Amino acid sequence: MNSIFTYDQLQSENEELRQQLEEAHDAINAIRTGKIDALIVQGENGQELYTLRSADRTYRVFIEKMSEGAVTLNPDGTILYSNNRFATMLSVSLEKVIGKHFSTFLPNSFKSNYESLLKDGWKQDLKMEISLLRSDNHLVPCLISCNRIELDEKIALSLILTDLTEQKEAEKQLLIKNQQLEQAELKSRVLNDQLAALIEERTRELYLSREQFKFLADQLPVLVWTAKPEGTIDYFNKRWYEYTGKAHGEISGWESVLHPDDIQLTHDRWQKSVLTGNPYEIEHRFKRASDQNYRWHLGYALPFKDENQKIIAWFGTGTDIEEQKQAIEKRDEFIGIASHELKTPLTTVKAYLEIIGKYRKEPLPSAIKEYVSKAQGALAKLQNLVNDLLDVSKIHAGQLLYDKIEFNLIDLVNNCIENFNHLYPQRKLVCSCEERLIVYGNQGRIEQVIMNLISNAVKYSGDSTDITIQAYRKNDKAVVSLIDSGIGLTEEQKNRIFERFYRVEDKKFLTSGLGMGLYISSEIIKSHGGRLVVSSNFGEGSKFSIELPLMEI
């Protein structure tokens, strides 16, 4: 550009160009609206004329309305015609499109492909995907379809461009979703595999622990069983089948081998445990198949709970206690006979001692008097012991019978207080008694009970502590309470002290006794329609209360 132009020259050139642009504009509009059907384009070989057949006008309008870009190229790739849509796809005005080389709107990376596309497009119809370069440098993915067309005797290349942006975006999203789906699938497959492995392992563990349990249970010499949480038995061990002679694996009908007298009690106890979740304990008889004899068993079952304290099974055992039962029976029989046999010689000795004590023919040396009195003391203790033993065997045999009358319990309590003062002059008994509490019973036996409670309160509390006796009415009951601040009892001890021969083994607090007093006392009170209750705190003291039905309310 070596030529130098004057201002006027430039001005007129500019004016000329402006006019050309206006003309071009008008021509484009005219073509689009179908007003003209011929166009002169400045080509390599000078001006070239392109005409449209009048029948094509309809198509031109149709093409303008299309959602695809439509472009016509001359053989050198210049855009002869473009619809508005193509310009919109490029984000430029239509004027900036027509007359431009098509490759202007292609990214550099595609330009070489474009050359071959053009070459092939002239020869045959073809379709391919390309990218257009938008004015803001964004790439617009398109499907381009090339068709060679003839415009009068000239040829042109018609391009239809479908914007694939949305489709590509949708495909991209689909791909992402697919990938996410695949990942999720993969994860769930891994999870599934882990779960399957876990289930397999747990099943194996469960199977093993069940088998181990069965193996262990089968080796035990006791009857073993398990039950579902709601109480249905679902397993018996080998020993059960050996003992009962039932067919191996038979679960139902266990009542048929239970002693008829024990069925109801067993049923009631079991239902109670199932309802409350408390341990099940019972003594009942099962028939042994080998000799058809009923033998005593100690039945015991515990609930097995999960981490939420929900019962998931019951584990039970039945231990043959027939021999122990017989031994206890023999012991009771022996105690009964021995105490009975001892009673007569003791009475004789007592009578002789009394005769010696009352001997007046010649004065007795004081040493002899002292020995006689000591022997009488020891004899009294021995007689008490023998009487207790006799009572125990009578209670056991259901033979503790006595006459009953109506009497004022307070008079009896006062007698006991007098006895206390005589027996334990060094101890203090604090009294709090009402005046009249009429009950129906055997005075001697009730006095025996109160004296036993007094003697226990003395035995199991320190020498310097007071003992309190209270006699009062509580609703329709007469209550006599003995309160001490002695050694007290633990929960377990409290639950067992009324058992026959039960004694607390306390090495620090050794006292004499055979564990019969509270058993006899509670049985006596029971046979009067009352009850003997204890409340106690270990190390703090105890309160034993007799409750008897009141005759005058």
The footprint of ligand ADP (CB under 6 A) covers 456-457, 460, 484, 486-487, 489, 497, 502-504, 513-519, 542
129 touches 164 (CB < 8 A)? yes
Tokens 């509009």 sit at which residue? 29
The CB-of-266 to ligand ADP minimum distance in angstroms stands at 30
Strands (DSSP E) contained in 228-290 are: 233-236, 280-287
**Closer residue to ligand ADP (CB): 357 or 488:** 488
The CB-of-540 to ligand ADP minimum distance in angstroms stands at 10
433 touches 472 (CB < 8 A)? yes
**Closer residue to ligand ADP (CB): 34 or 515:** 515
The CB-of-270 to ligand ADP minimum distance in angstroms stands at 31
The CA-based diameter of the chain, rounded to the nearest angstrom, is: 185
At 480, which helix (H) or strand (E)? Answer: strand 477-484
**Closer residue to ligand ADP (CB): 28 or 516:** 516
**Closer residue to ligand ADP (CB): 78 or 521:** 521
Distance CA 110, CA 406 (A): 125
Two tokens, residue 503: 């004694």
Q: What residues does 295 pair with on adjacent strands? A: 286
Distance CA 79, CA 21 (A): 16
The CB-of-345 to ligand ADP minimum distance in angstroms stands at 24
Nearest to 450 by CA among 552, 545, 550: 545
**Closer residue to ligand ADP (CB): 309 or 426:** 426
Ramachandran region, residue 81 (left: φ > 0; alpha: ψ -120 to 50; beta: rest): beta
Q: What residues does 157 pair with on adjacent strands? A: 73, 148
149 touches 156 (CB < 8 A)? yes
**Closer residue to ligand ADP (CB): 123 or 507:** 507
The CB-of-519 to ligand ADP minimum distance in angstroms stands at 6
**Closer residue to ligand ADP (CB): 57 or 503:** 503
Over its C-alpha atoms, the chain yields an Rg (Å, rounded) of 58
The CB-of-490 to ligand ADP minimum distance in angstroms stands at 10
Q: What angle do CA 19, 21, 24 make, to 5 degrees?
A: 110
**Closer residue to ligand ADP (CB): 267 or 531:** 531
**Closer residue to ligand ADP (CB): 163 or 391:** 391
The CB-of-412 to ligand ADP minimum distance in angstroms stands at 19
**Closer residue to ligand ADP (CB): 294 or 502:** 502
**Closer residue to ligand ADP (CB): 56 or 447:** 447
The CB-of-247 to ligand ADP minimum distance in angstroms stands at 48
**Closer residue to ligand ADP (CB): 224 or 389:** 389
The CB-of-530 to ligand ADP minimum distance in angstroms stands at 18
**Closer residue to ligand ADP (CB): 270 or 460:** 460
320 touches 299 (CB < 8 A)? no
Two tokens, residue 237: 């061990």
The CB-of-325 to ligand ADP minimum distance in angstroms stands at 22
Give CA separation, 90 vs 33, 131, 186, in Å. 22, 11, 42
- Give the chain's end-to-end CA distance (angstroms, integer): 140
Residues present in the chain in total? 553
> Closest residue to ligand ADP, Cβ-based?
513
Q: What is the DSSP letter of 106?
A: S
The CB-of-548 to ligand ADP minimum distance in angstroms stands at 19
522 touches 447 (CB < 8 A)? no
The CB-of-470 to ligand ADP minimum distance in angstroms stands at 15
446 touches 412 (CB < 8 A)? yes
Q: In whole angstroms, what separates CA 245 from the centre of its chain?
A: 39
Q: What angle do CA 24, 27, 30 make, to 5 degrees?
A: 155
**DSSP reduced 3-state for 81:** strand
Q: From the DSSP assignment, how many helices (H) and strands (E) are in the chain?
A: 13, 19
Burial of 257: CB neighbours in 10 Å, binned 0-12, 13-18, 19+: middle
Q: What residues does 161 pair with on adjacent strands? A: 69, 144
